[in-house]
């Protein structure tokens, strides 16, 4: 982006030395990348402050999201480590073991099956393990209600 909003031919994208906004000695630059930023010096003070405020708020949001992802990723790594160690210990003891894990977090949905059994080797989770609702009780209840209604209609004649 060459040129700026005020109409003169100064460059709006300028080299930067880091990833933080600069407001030193009349230089108002918001970094786009570690090597380039947007020069805001041609804007009125109120607009500069608003843009700097919005930039700072955005960086805080990005930082918070990164921390959430880091916490969820570490929790997943710890859980998988425990499951893996348990299956490994069972295998060393000659015991059959299947461990399954399903979780939805900020990093997405994770479904894991591990173990030394044929079920684990197949790598398929049951419907309840994947979080699907089992509708069988509802179908049975609906069938019973239908039978009662049919019996009442036939018996009422």
Radius of gyration of the chain (CA): 30
Alpha helices in 93-135 (DSSP H): 118-122
Has residue 92 been placed in a domain?
Answer: yes
Q: Same domain, yes or no, for 74 and 112?
A: yes
Same domain flag for 35 and 79: no
DSSP state of 111: E
77 and 37 in one domain?
no
Report the number of distinct structural domains present in the chain: 2
Are 71 and 39 found together in one domain?
A: no
Q: Residue 80: give the domain boundaries.
A: 67-125
Residue 128 is predicted with a pLDDT of 63
Report if residue 73 sits inside a domain. yes
pLDDT digits (tens, 9 = 90+) for 46-103: 998 898 889 889 989 999 999 988 998 999 899 999 999 999 999 999 888 888 888 8
74 within domain boundaries: yes
């Amino acid at each position: 982006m060459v040129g700026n909003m005020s109409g003169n031919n100064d460059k709006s994208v300028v080299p930067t030395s880091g990833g933080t906004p600069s407001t030193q000695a009349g230089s108002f630059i918001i970094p786009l990348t570690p090597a380039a930023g947007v020069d805001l010096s041609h804007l009125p003070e109120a607009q500069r402050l608003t843009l700097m405020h919005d930039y700072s708020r955005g960086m805080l949001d990005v930082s918070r999201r990164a921390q959430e992802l880091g916490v969820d990723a570490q929790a997943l790594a710890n859980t998988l480590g425990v499951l893996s160690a348990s299956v490994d210990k069972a295998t060393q003891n000659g015991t059959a073991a299947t461990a399954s894990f399903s979780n939805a977090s900020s990093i997405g949905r994770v479904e894991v099956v591990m173990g030394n059994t044929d079920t684990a080797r197949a790598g398929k989770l049951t419907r309840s393990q994947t979080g699907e609702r089992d509708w069988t009780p509802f179908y049975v209840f609906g069938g019973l209600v239908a039978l009662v209604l049919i019996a009442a209609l036939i018996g009422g004649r």
